[in-house]
Amino acid sequence: MEAEVVNPEPVTEPIPAAKPPLSGKKWFYTGGVLLSLIVLGGGIWIIRWQQRRKTPVMEIQNPPTGPTTAPTDGDRILAGFNPGKATWYPVPKIITGVVIFRPEEDDSQEFSPLVTQEAVFSEVAGFAAGERLIDVSIPVQAPGMSGMVVRILKSADGKYYYVRQAGDEWWESLDAKLLPEVGVTEQKIEGVLSPEEMMVAGMTFRIGYMSYDKFSELKNPIKIVETDYGMLYQTRTKILTDSDVFGRKIYLRLKDNYVVPYSLKTSLFDDDNIPQINWNNNAEEDKGFINGMFSSCGSSALMGSVPVVQDSSGLLTGKIQTGKAKTGEPVYQIKDPGNELVKSIYEQVYQVGRDQMITLTEFAGQENHFLWQDPLGDWQIWVNQEFGPNAECAKPVIYLYPTEDTVVNVRVEANISDSKPVYKTDGWTVTAGQSGKLKADGIVYDYLFWDGQGHGEYPDLRDRGVAVKQANIETTLMKNLMALGLNDRETADFLEFWLPKMPVTPYVRLTWLGTAEMDRLAPLIVSPVPDTKIRIFLEFEGLARPKYLKPQKLTAVKRVGFTLVEWGGLLISVR
Amino acid sequence: MPWDKLIGIKLVVLIWSWYFQPTAIIVPHQNTVRNIRQMFFNRTAKARPLTRTVILLSPDHFSPNQESIFFSDRNWTLSNGLLEYADRTGKNITSDFSRSNRLLTIDHGIYNILPEIKTYFPRARIVPLLVGERVSRKKLDALADRLSANCRWDCLVIASVDFSHYLPHALADVHDAFSLKALAAPDPDLIMASEADSPNSLYVTRKFSDLRKADNFLLFAHTNSAEIIGQRDTESTSHIMGWYRRGRRNNKFDTFTFLMTKNISGARDKPGPGERFFYGTEYVNENLTETFNLIRGLEIIPGGKASKVTREANKLTVNLGKDLAVAGIDTGEGVRIIFLPLGEISGQTYLQRGLEKTEYFDRLGIDQTGEIFIHYQM
């Protein structure tokens, strides 16, 4: 049924002189609705607020186990402690008998990368009231890290307090490891403070990647400036042989002889890493630049270092201003294809891992890098990500197996860009045990690691070796390593590192460099001289199809007496 | 319109939009899709009346200590302004987490997202967190509880997460179908099996949404880097952008994903296809020994050396040899089947790419993309 529509009588809308905004009724309803909303909202807020107050704080730390009752945080914090000035020991005293960590057999603990049972304690300073400051060096089972250092205080009455610093990245893991009776202090101890940022002499330094190196391990440290926290130093490692390109690192020296890496904050980028540069050609502002010239397995071979050209270098001849930072400082580029720096960026950065490439001349004409003079006077090299490198890997490691505990010194004839433990001016000096465990500065290592460029000639053996099917890589490598005389552990380490880096091509060329070639490429000077030396190095390359190669005869030498074993590898990029 | 009515309508709209506003979102940090991410942020900002606080969760890409949750209490000087730390909320949430301004400053999971937060939520302050890969479930649950107690109507949780990595586009799609299902599923635990760079961040976001009774997952975009550059065979990263809000949970992501091979046993920890090949699918059979016919219209039978594909009217039969893997998504309306040529007949097996794949497909009579769709006859 259709509804009848009745046209209302046309009504001429009276134009009131002034329409009352709301009738009394409307006021009443509107006011009522608003009031109800306010009351309702207020009520909900009060209920929620009370609920929130009642919500217990979630305890997410590991509950302490064992017979000891956990002290509250209040009990743990060292109150009213004013240590005054520390007297720093010229040489740290290694001490034993410090029990601050839970025993290893405590099964209640979750997995922790901290190997606290192998921690080494060194007393480094004393205070007037009898307190002692102790450095605790703890091995770490985590990628890219072998050890760390924390500090504890021993009070005059023999109680231990963990010194918790701002930005303590291991606190959660450490807290789970510390015995409940170990206290905590957040007391700032002058001499071992490392702030996130320091402003000094018009420059800002920001704390860098974490490493726990000692000052004595730095290679030719040069003073930069004295700060409230200690002296800042820089080290410079040549990146390119016979050129003025250096990897520069900055360190703050602490009183207990450890150093903390810092970086010089630049005005070129904001915190979102978008460059603040006005380019002369009005190019897009947000193209990416990297402050690293060489890569190794996805990270800079000179990890934490900044590639710089020193101001006096002839490499800078012919630089052209290409833009201006928002702070007004000019940025430059070298466009001459004959310039050694441009050639280096082309060969050692751009060419790495590329299938199709432009020529050097074309490359030089592109915006592949810029140079900027930093407040330390050096010219920083920033490479356009578009022309950046793909990963290339080279990781030689050295195992030492003496017949008894022996102090061994190892030197490599190479420009070392990265090493663990830190490679000093006189090489590595470690105490090696029969099991192969190496101890340096209280930290235990499985092997010595180095990365860099050998001083000798790299042999061209590309026509030798074997081209194996993708599916047979692992079995072939295992057979090869056995034939070359590596033991199970060394083989496992090698495969763990290199297998994931094999190219995913139908075939892969495997070419081995042996002890003789390695001795020519990067001679090792070892004291005492090993009785047996096995040095192997794998060069590999992805192939689309099988290729005939001159076979290599792989043989092992018998391990007699003090044995040194070294393995490494190099991926030849498809070019 | 009389202003009282206008106020009334605006009030209703405000209450409505406040009630149904997104409480948490998922965004990728890979900048390949920055433009789409900006559009997503724009839509999110429009759907939220007021945002004063943002909690940003990201994978911890660089720390060797993956057992911890790190936070930063610094202010950020960005190319588009200053983004401040939300001090009070931050203190409530991070009371016993480790502070590391250093780690958060260098993590692209954090800094790639900051300019968009500043642009689209200019009044917001931020609490950024790095959630390690091995953080215990207990800690993750505690974090979700704290977020629920401290992140209220004017606060937004953002998970900065990239999804499938290093896979060809077609297989990434299968893994992402599982991730989408997990994001929308009633059980937050399912997300832990998804292929993403931070299942932990997704789990906290999902759990928080659950606690706030805003667990309705809506998808804004699903993208893949290989698709964007037009190279489907290349290793890719995939991205899922979506919201959590109140409302009835939708079931449009209820799919069933599977992956089967004949001869890839034990390859999870070995080179070759690798671990990522398998995880992120519901049904995995690494060594097909019996016929698979759980899915209507599809029968997979252990085959000989080389695979054979037979297609009848509404049925696809695959005699699965040692040269192929078969993955797929059953959507309920049909099944999308993806063929993945494998590179070796015996011993180690690897996933082929490029031209070899085309040869396989030609031989099998399959389209060069390696995909077949079977639509169910309803």
Closest Cα in chain B, distance from residue A519 (Å): 31
For residue A172, give both structure tokens. Answer: 């959660």
Chain A contacts of B138, Cβ < 8 Å?
A: 60
Distance (Å, whole) CA B146 – CA B140: 10
A338: Cβ contacts below 8 Å, ≥ 6 apart: none
CB B13 within 8 A of CB B47: no
The reply to whether A409 and A364 lie within a common domain is no
A526 inside domain: yes
Identity of the residue in B68, B77, B350 whose CB atom sits nearest the CB atom of A271:
B77
Instruction: From B332, B5, B186, B367, select the one nearest A29 (Cα to Cα).
Output: B5
Q: Are residues B300 and B364 in the same domain?
A: yes
Strand B256-261 to B283-285 pairing: parallel
Chain B residue closest in CA terms to A143:
B64
First to last CA, chain A: 84
Pick from B198, B72, B189: nearest CA to B132:
B198
Q: Which of A290, A506, A303, A399 is nearest to B341 (CA)?
A: A506
Q: Looking at beta carbons, which residues of chain B come within 8 Å of A506? A: 343, 356
- Contacts with B315 (C-beta within 8 Å, 6 or more apart), sequence order: B297, B298, B299
Residue where one domain finishes, among candidates B200, B222, B245: B245
Which amino acid would we find at residue B344? Answer: E
Q: Count of domains in chain B? A: 2
Nearest residue to B91 (alpha-carbon basis) of B114, B73, B76: B73
Residue in B with minimal Cα distance to A261? B102
Residue A14 lies in a domain: no
Torsion sign (Cα): A458, A461, A466, A469: positive
A217 and A366 housed in the same domain: yes
In a domain, B356, yes or no: yes
Instruction: Choose among B78, B349, B350: nearest Cβ to A271.
Output: B78
Mutate to test the interface with B, among A266, A270, A291 (most CBs of B within 10 A): A270
A308 touches A377 (CB < 8 A): no
Q: Cβ B142–A58 below 8 Å, yes or no?
A: yes
Q: Contact A184/A164 with Cβ under 8 angstroms?
A: yes
Interchain pair B79, A506: CB under 8 A: no
Domain that holds residue A357: 194-389
pLDDT by position in tens, chain A (length 575): 333 333 434 444 444 444 445 556 667 677 777 777 777 777 767 666 655 544 433 333 333 333 333 344 555 666 666 777 889 999 999 999 999 999 876 655 566 778 898 899 999 999 988 899 999 999 876 655 667 899 999 988 899 999 988 777 888 888 889 999 999 988 889 999 999 899 999 999 998 877 788 898 888 899 999 999 999 999 987 776 556 888 899 999 999 999 999 999 888 888 887 778 888 887 765 566 777 665 333 233 345 688 899 999 999 999 999 999 888 999 999 999 999 889 888 876 776 545 457 899 999 999 889 999 999 999 999 988 777 654 333 567 899 999 999 999 998 876 666 677 878 878 899 999 888 888 887 777 888 987 765 555 566 677 788 888 888 888 889 889 988 989 888 887 788 777 766 776 778 889 898 888 777 777 788 999 999 999 998 888 777 777 788 888 888 888 989 999 999 877 654 32
> Residue B319 domain-assigned?
yes
Identity of the amino acid at A9 = E
Q: Is residue B5 part of a domain?
A: no
Structural domain count of chain A: 3
Shortest alpha-carbon distance between residue A515 and chain B (Å): 28
Rounded CA-CA distance B129/B70 in Å is 6
State yes or no: pLDDT of B8 exceeds 50.
Answer: yes
- Residue B350 and residue B269 share a domain: yes
Domain of B316?
Answer: 256-375
> Are B288 and B302 within 8 A, CB to CB?
yes
Q: Do A168 and B139 touch (CB under 8 A)?
A: no
Alpha-carbon distance A40 to nearest alpha carbon in chain B (angstroms)? 13
Answer yes or no: do A512 and A541 share one domain.
yes
**Identity of the amino acid at B149:** A
Name the closest residue on chain A to residue B82, using Cα atoms. Answer: A271
Nearest CA in chain A to B344: A471
A472 and B347 in contact by Cβ < 8 A?
yes
Residue of A nearest to B118 (CA): A272
The rounded distance, in Å, linking the Cα atoms of A225 and A203 is: 10
Q: Are residues B271 and B226 in the same domain?
A: no
Chain A closest-CA separation from residue B297 CA (Å):
34
**Chain A residues with CB-CB distance to B142 below 8 A:** 58-60
B50 and B168 fall within a common domain? yes
The Cα B229–Cα B32 span in angstroms is: 9
Residue pLDDT, tens place only, B144-186: 999 999 999 999 999 999 999 878 888 899 999 999 999 999 9
**Residue among A557, A412, A569, A563 at smallest CA distance from A502:** A569
In this structure, are B43 and B154 located in the same domain? yes
CB A440 within 8 A of CB A428: yes
Residues A225 and A361 in one domain: yes
φ, ψ of residue A81 to 5 degrees: the values are: -100, 120
Q: Which residues of B touch A194 (CB under 8 A)?
A: none
Boundary of a domain, candidates A356, A389, A422: A389
Query: Do B211 and B343 fall within a single domain?
Result: no
For Cα atoms B103, B109, B110, give the angle at the middle one, nearest 5 degrees. Answer: 65
Reported in sequence order, the residue ranges of A7-144 that DSSP labels E, i.e. its strands, are: 87-95, 120-126, 132-142
Query: What integer is the mean pLDDT of B205-227?
Result: 93
Q: Does a cis peptide bond (omega within 30 degrees of 0) precede residue A421?
A: yes
Sheet holding B283-285, edge to edge: B283-285, B256-261, B324-330, B334-341, B371-375
CA distance A496 to B163: 25
Per the domain annotation, does B318 fall within a domain? Answer: yes
Q: At what angle do helices B137-150 and B87-94 cross, to 10 degrees?
A: 150
Nearest to B98 among A169, A270, A274 (CB): A169
**Within a domain: A380:** yes
Give me the residue from B63, B64, B102 closest to A196, CB to CB.
B102
